[in-house]
Amino acid sequence: MKRLFIFPAVAIALSLAACGGSENKNTSTDTEETSATETPATETVPGIENVEVSNTIVVESNDQMKFDKELLRVKAGETVTLTLKNVGTLPKESMGHNLIVLKPGVDVATFAGEATGAADADYIPKTSLSSIAAHTKLLGPGEEDKISFTLEKGVYTFICSFPGHYGVMQGKIVAE
């Protein structure tokens, strides 16, 4: 009697495993084809349709290592004015924040690794200046910095490069 239950269970398990295997293979192929033809300018950013276009932006950073905005939408080719405000209370030496807009295609982890060694330059590595579209200075509690820049059409990642922050303090700017 037990064999009657084991045989169908094994048959179902094998069927599911076989279906799952071919499904994953097709998904990988589709993903490779998509990423090979996708450019940063055509990258789809989930939720961007809910973000208002504005070239005057205020972003706040805090002691919980967060930006209050993680998705920004601007008009490409026009001046963007961005103000970063550090609304935290912890000292700059332990919880300083900046905002760096990276050019499309820059590897964030590699950049952040280089930034860690640039304490004397507000964690903005001189060796990677060609990877940066714009940046603020490093801010302590209650400080703010206003910058102006222009972006070409595309999707740009922005981060805080203070050591250990980039993993949670990052977002996207879509210039359209």
d(CA 146, CA 142): 14
Determine the pLDDT at residue 43.
Answer: 64
Task: Give residue-wise pLDDT tens across range 22-32.
Answer: 433 333 333 33
- Contact by Cβ (8 Å): 50, 174: no
Task: Give residue-wise pLDDT tens across range 134-159.
Answer: 999 999 999 999 999 999 999 999 99
Q: To the nearest whole percent, how much of the chain has pLDDT over 90?
A: 75
Q: What is the pTM of this model?
A: 0.75
Q: Tell me how far CA of residue 88 lies from CA of 32, 64, 115, 149, 163, in angstroms.
A: 42, 8, 22, 26, 17
Determine the pLDDT at residue 44.
Answer: 83
* Mean pLDDT, all residues of the chain: 84
